[in-house]
A = this chain, B = another copy of it.
Amino acid sequence: MPETTPELIAAVGDRLTPTDRRIAEAVLSEPTLLAFGTVSDLADHVGTSRPSIMRFANKLGFGGYSDLQSHVRRGLSQRLSRPSDRIRDHGGVGSNVQVALEGAIGGVVEAAGGERLGVLAEPLVSAQDIWIVSGETSQAGAHALASGLTMVRPGVHFVEEHSMGRDLGSAGSEDAAVVFDFFRYRRHSVRTARTLARLGVSIVAITDGPLSPLASLTDRWCALTVPAIGPFDSSVPAVAMAELLVAEVARQLHDEATERIDRTEDLWAATGTYLV
């Protein structure tokens, strides 16, 4: 039994009338026509009548146009499902920690793909000061970001819950903030993010999906999938994303960043911080 559209057409290719053939060419060159279009759309596009489309569907072995369309859509659904989902489908879900973590890493890379990483990092390059806010399962990510960013640029501040008021006194529209938080969003981090947004600070949100309260604050957000390790949520994705952000900022600030790193290295050497 043939599956894809070209296979279906090829199977009856020798029994097609001229009009059938024009229809076939159209659906082959524009796959979405069959998936999305109505009988009328197709007929207009090909320059024929609706019943011809019907007969075409019948000739391919379907009871009607609806059946043909359903078949095509099922095929597309598989292609459209995201790679990470496919991994999840194949591997056992939570049983294997390695599969879960590698899936999460894949999700991070996907979320940072294309131009996305640059978009997320942009405010961190140009901002005067940077404020970092985090919830519970994301603290490790926030720490990694704070420590990494401090290595490549000045003005990085970690906003502690107890000293929030004092810390944010000087925040303004020249600044940027990175907010980490995931499901069971911590009230404090969301409130802080809202406050910062109201002050005109550019918000970069690392969170778990578009339904997150953080995602509605800014266009610069990304969604990570958070696997569970034992009873707790993993902070591995948050940390990985933080490190990607640091790497991107370092890349863009290249000269300034290397100078700053060198200075830090000199300081470490002078104070004998490291053994080697």
Report which A residues bind B (CB closer than 8 A): 2, 5-16, 21, 24-25, 28, 31-32, 35-36, 73, 76-77, 79-81, 83, 89-90, 92-95, 97-98, 101-102, 105-106, 109-110, 112-114, 117, 136, 139-141, 143-144, 147-148, 151-152, 183-188, 190, 209-213, 215-216, 219, 221, 223, 229-232, 234-236, 239-240, 243-244, 246-248, 250-251, 257, 261, 272-276
Contact = CB atoms under 8 A, between A and B. Distances in A.
A230 B242 CA distance: 12
A14 B213 contact: yes
Contact of A274 (B76, B185, B223, B244): B185
9 residue pairs, one from A and one from B, having the closest CB atoms: A230-B247, A10-B215, A10-B210, A13-B216, A6-B210, A94-B109, A9-B210, A140-B144, A14-B216
Given A10-B216, A13-B215, A219-B2, A232 B102 contact: no
Contacts of A188: 273
B7 A210 contact: yes
